[in-house]
Amino acid sequence: MAKYLLQRFLYMILTLFIVASITFFLMKLIPGSPFNTFQKLSVAQQNILLEKYGLKDPLPVQYFNYMKNLVKGDLGVSFQFNNTPVTELLGNRIGPSAILGLQAMVLGAIAGIFLGTISALKQNTWIDYGSTFIAVIGKSIPSFIFAGLLQYYIAVKLGWLPVMLWKGPEYTILPTIALAMFPISIAARFMRTEMIDVLGSDYITLAKAKGASFWQISFKHAIRNALIPVVTVMGPLAISLMTGSLVIEKIFGIPGLGEQFVKSIGTNDYPVIMGTNLLFATLFVVIILVVDILYGIIDPRIRISGGKAK
C-alpha cells in the first residue's frame, strides 16, 4: 500500500508539472495584456509596466522564472486584484465554493442514490416514473434556471430565505439546492441502471433462493455493488462542483472561485490563471486517487496493492 501510494504521488507530481507547462504556454498565446488601462496609456507608459512585471522577457525566461517560484510555493501576484498574492486569493475564494460544492454533492449523492434505488426496486411503477422525471428535469434544465426560479419564488415572493449573498448557513440553502439538481439526476440515473443490472444477476437469485429478505438483498448485496459506477462519476463531478459554479455564484453573490477563474482568463491575469488551473489539477489527481482507494472498500474484488489478494 505504501509503495503504491508513493508511486501514485510521483505520477501526480509529474502530471502537475505537465499541466503547469502546457497551461503556461497556452495562456501566453492569448493576445492582449493584463492591464486594464492599456486603452489609455501611451506605448512608452505601457513599456514601463511590462518591464516592471517581467512581461517583456523572452517566453522561456518567463517560464523558467515562474517554475522556479512555483517550486518555492510562490504563485505570484494577481493583476486584477492589485498585487494580491494568488495563494491568498485562492485561499479566500476556495472556502465558499468548497462548502457549496460539498453540500450540493452530499445532497445530490444521497437524494440521487435514494431516487435511483427506489426506482429500480419499484421498476415501472409511478415511483419509478416520478423519479426518472426528476432526473431528466435535473439533467436537462440548467442550474441557473433553478437558481432564478428558487430565488424569485422562495426568496422574493415568499420571503422565506435571503435573496442572495453569503453571510450564514441560511444563505447556502437555495444555491445548494440549485447546484444539487445536476448531481441528483446523474446519481439517480446511474444508480437505477446499475441496480436493475445487479438485481438480475446470479448471486441475487442465489440470495433469494437462500431465503434472504427483500431488505437484506437490497442493502447488503445490491446497493453496495451498484455504487461502483456512481462513485466513478461522482468523483470528478465533486471537483467541478467544489471548484465553483460561475453561474450559481454570480446569481447568489457568492465570493467563490468559479467566476474568478473565468474572469482571470478574460482579463489575462496570468498568475491567477496558472494558480487556479494548478489548484484544479491538484484536486483532480487527489480525488482520482481517493476514488481508486474507495473502489477497494466498496468492492472487495478490487485490490489496489496488487497481487496479494487473499
Q: What is the binding site for other proteins (CB under 8 A)?
A: 30-45, 48-49, 51-53, 78, 80-84, 88-89, 92-93, 142, 144-145, 148-149, 151-152, 155-156, 159, 162-166, 247, 250-253, 255, 259, 266-268
Q: At closest approach, how far in Å is the CB of 139 from other proteins? A: 13
Give the span between the Cα atoms of 48 and 55, in whole angstroms: 10
Instruction: Compute CA distances 34 → 38, 161, 267, whole Å.
Output: 9, 39, 6
Q: Which residues contact 132 (CB under 8 A, 6 or more apart)?
A: 119, 188, 192
Q: Cell 515562474, residue?
A: 66
Give the span between the Cα atoms of 41 and 309, in whole angstroms: 68
Q: At closest approach, how far in Å is the CB of 82 from other proteins? A: 4
Q: Cell for 3? A: 509503495
Q: Are 154 and 79 in contact (CB under 8 A)?
A: no
Give the span between the Cα atoms of 107 and 99, in whole angstroms: 12
Q: At closest approach, how far in Å is the CB of 123 from other proteins? A: 33
Residue 77, strand partner residues: 85
CA 129 distance to own-chain centroid:
29
Q: At closest approach, how far in Å is the CB of 137 from other proteins? A: 14
Instruction: Compute CA distances 236 → 141, 269, 291, whole Å.
Output: 21, 26, 9
Q: At closest approach, how far in Å is the CB of 92 from other proteins? A: 5
Q: Which residues contact 148 (CB under 8 A, 6 or more apart)?
A: 251
Q: Cell 438483498, residue?
A: 217
Q: At closest approach, how far in Å is the CB of 32 from other proteins? A: 4
Q: Are 21 and 59 in contact (CB under 8 A)?
A: no
Q: At closest approach, how far in Å is the CB of 31 from other proteins? A: 5
Q: Which is nearer to other proteins, 72 or 210 (CB)?
A: 72
Burial class of residue 232 in the structure, from the number of CB atoms within 10 Å of its CB (0-12 exposed, 13-18 middle, 19+ buried): middle
Q: Are 226 and 198 in contact (CB under 8 A)?
A: yes
Q: At closest approach, how far in Å is the CB of 232 from other proteins? A: 20
Q: Which is nearer to other proteins, 80 or 216 (CB)?
A: 80
Q: Which is nearer to other proteins, 41 or 204 (CB)?
A: 41
Instruction: Give long-range contacts, CB 8 A cutoff, 24+ apart: 17-20.
Output: 19/277, 19/278, 19/281, 20/67, 20/70, 20/274, 20/277, 20/278, 20/281
Q: At closest approach, how far in Å is the CB of 118 from other proteins? A: 31
